[in-house]
């Protein structure tokens, strides 16, 4: 087999319990763009490694890496390890939010969505080192991701559908129906805001049908930030998916889902809806610019469960304004509302979020700019709050985590 023209690398992510449960969907879209142009592509999958393994990268003209802030150190190590003559491209969340941090280590830095700029870069038609990509206006013009670049057992996770801690089911695939989020949570460094660009529901269903027929995948996780942001679009999407006869799960906001939507979702095969409550303390929600209420979340859980689906709640410890009472309120909410599943992360002040930009405004002190500590699930907090040091934040996190594990 000849060497590929381009190698895409998924770097290590050692802070996840099951790093192979998620793959970088953007890489597979980019790979499909290049394959359509006749360029040979290889995927180097280092997700399950705790360190960089350069042996997984065959000789090539280009090495392209997509990295979060926590992964950027691995990405820079990979760039330094490639052989002379190989050019490097960095994209993803960190490059988009902090391109200046990347210019010394990579030949090209992509800011934003890469589908419209990756081919000109590889063909040598891009002269600027920092490439600011335009928003994709029509997602339906993109080819389906290059699903066949990894063996099915690496692409389709048996843990994805139930989630961590909840066992395994049949293999599931992550796909996306829309990109963008119009909200401005202070802790979020989402690289895609407005406009929210949606795919044609019929094309989403066609992609599901293809994965079902060619790879035997009957379970899906839609990665959209807010699947219910457009009620007419959601209704059409559910109608199309119902005809495919698959199971799926999705995410939304607590104030963007009603009983009608829940019934459409259930009828289409949706089995779980997750939402980011973050905190059941109203003052924390207000300070974090979450723009939802605790009552919104309780009603959303009620409607999801009434419709026969699982309700999953995402909580975040260490947010601005958190106190010991906040943890008690979180416990009370979970005790009374009884969502079916949960995930607890620690707040991390990612570059690009409002708290990173102005920590004093939120009563936050950022303790380190060492990006190797910037994960959703770090071993310890990397910030302090007014009147609350790191040790106290860690104790609160452990208190809430222990309660959740023991009672839910």
In the predicted structure, residue 320 carries a pLDDT above the cut 70: yes
Question: H or E segment at 385?
Answer: strand 383-385
Instruction: Report the chain's C-alpha Rg in angstroms.
Output: 21
pLDDT at 304: 98
The residue written with tokens 């963007």 in the block is 256
Q: Which pTM does this prediction carry?
A: 0.96
In the predicted structure, residue 242 carries a pLDDT above the cut 70: yes
Mean pLDDT, rounded, for 265-291: 98
| Under 8 Å between Cβ of 284 and 319 | yes
Alpha carbon separation from 238 to 14, 77, 144, 326 (Å, rounded): 36, 44, 20, 37
Nearest residue to 161 via CA among 315, 271, 53, 34? 271
In the predicted structure, residue 22 carries a pLDDT above the cut 90: no
Contacts of residue 374, defined as CB under 8 A and 6 or more positions apart, other chains included, come to 68, 69, 70, 348, 350, 382
pLDDT digits (tens, 9 = 90+) for 350-368: 999 999 999 999 999 999 9
In the predicted structure, residue 1 carries a pLDDT above the cut 80: no
Domain ranges of the chain: 6-132, 156-407
| Under 8 Å between Cβ of 272 and 249 | yes
Fold of the 156-407 domain:
TIM Barrel (3.20.20)
Token duo for residue 353: 């979020």
The CATH code for residues 6-132 is 3.40.50.280
Nearest residue to 58 via CA among 122, 2, 118? 2
| Under 8 Å between Cβ of 285 and 315 | no
Residues of the chain with pLDDT > 90, as a percent, come to 93
In the predicted structure, residue 376 carries a pLDDT above the cut 70: yes
pLDDT at 17: 86
In the predicted structure, residue 280 carries a pLDDT above the cut 90: yes
Nearest residue to 8 via CA among 83, 66, 76? 66
Alpha carbons 70 and 300: distance in angstroms, whole number: 32
| Under 8 Å between Cβ of 262 and 223 | no
Contacts of residue 45, defined as CB under 8 A and 6 or more positions apart, other chains included, come to 10, 56, 150, 154
pLDDT digits (tens, 9 = 90+) for 146-168: 999 999 999 999 999 999 889 88
Alpha carbon separation from 246 to 9, 148, 156, 234 (Å, rounded): 30, 21, 15, 16
Alpha carbons 87 and 102: distance in angstroms, whole number: 14
Alpha carbon separation from 356 to 63, 299, 397 (Å, rounded): 30, 32, 21
Cβ atoms within 10 A of the Cβ of 108, count?
Answer: 23
In the predicted structure, residue 194 carries a pLDDT above the cut 90: no
**Cα 350 from chain centroid (whole Å):** 14
Contacts of residue 369, defined as CB under 8 A and 6 or more positions apart, other chains included, come to none
Residues of the chain with pLDDT > 70, as a percent, come to 100
Contacts of residue 49, defined as CB under 8 A and 6 or more positions apart, other chains included, come to 12, 14
pLDDT band at 297 (very low <50, low <70, confident <90, very high): very high
Token duo for residue 286: 């207000």
Alpha carbons 70 and 402: distance in angstroms, whole number: 25
Alpha carbons 207 and 237: distance in angstroms, whole number: 12
Nearest residue to 300 via CA among 333, 343, 347? 333
Token duo for residue 129: 């080192």
Mean pLDDT, rounded, for 277-292: 97
Mean pLDDT, rounded, for 270-274: 98
């Amino acid at each position: 087999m000849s060497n590929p023209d381009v190698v895409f690398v998924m770097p290590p992510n050692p802070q996840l319990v099951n790093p192979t449960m998620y793959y970088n969907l953007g890489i597979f879209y980019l790979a499909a763009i290049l394959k359509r142009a006749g360029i040979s592509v290889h995927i180097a999958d280092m997700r399950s490694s705790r360190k960089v393994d350069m042996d997984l990268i065959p000789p090539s003209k280009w090495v392209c890496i997509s990295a979060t802030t926590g992964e950027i150190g691995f990405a820079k190590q990979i760039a330094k390890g490639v052989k002379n003559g190989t050019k490097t491209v960095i994209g993803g969340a960190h490059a988009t939010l902090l391109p200046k941090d990347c210019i010394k280590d990579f030949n090209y830095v992509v800011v934003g969505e890469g589908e419209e700029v990756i081919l000109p870069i590889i063909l040598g038609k891009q002269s600027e080192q920092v490439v600011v990509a335009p928003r994709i206006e029509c997602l339906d013009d993109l080819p389906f991701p290059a699903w066949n670049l990894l063996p099915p057992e690496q692409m389709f996770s048996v843990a994805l559908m139930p989630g961590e801690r909840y066992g395994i089911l049949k293999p599931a695939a992550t796909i996306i129906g829309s990109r963008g989020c119009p909200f401005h949570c202070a802790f979020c460094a989402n690289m895609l805001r407005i406009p929210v660009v949606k795919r044609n529901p019929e094309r989403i269903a066609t992609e599901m049908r293809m994965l079902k027929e060619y790879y035997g995948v009957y379970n899906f996780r839609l990665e959209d930030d807010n699947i219910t942001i457009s009620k007419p679009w959601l209704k059409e999407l559910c109608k199309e998916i119902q005809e495919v006869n698959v199971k799926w799960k999705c995410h939304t906001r607590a104030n963007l889902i009603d009983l009608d939507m829940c019934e459409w979702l259930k009828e289409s095969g949706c089995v779980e809806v997750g939402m980011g409550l973050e905190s059941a303390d109203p003052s924390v929600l207000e300070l974090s610019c979450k723009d939802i209420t605790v009552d919104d979340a309780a009603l959303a859980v009620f409607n999801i469960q009434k419709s026969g689906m699982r309700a999953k709640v995402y909580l975040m410890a260490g947010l601005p304004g958190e106190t010991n009472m906040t943890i008690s309120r979180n416990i009370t909410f979970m005790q009374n509302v009884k969502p079916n599943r949960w995930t607890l992360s620690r707040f991390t002040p990612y570059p690009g979020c409002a708290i990173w930009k102005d920590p004093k405004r939120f009563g936050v002190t950022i303790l380190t700019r060492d990006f190797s500590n910037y994960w959703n699930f770090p071993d310890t907090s990397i910030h302090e709050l007014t009147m609350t040091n790191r040790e106290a934040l860690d104790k609160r996190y452990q208190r809430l985590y222990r309660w959740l594990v023991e009672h839910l």
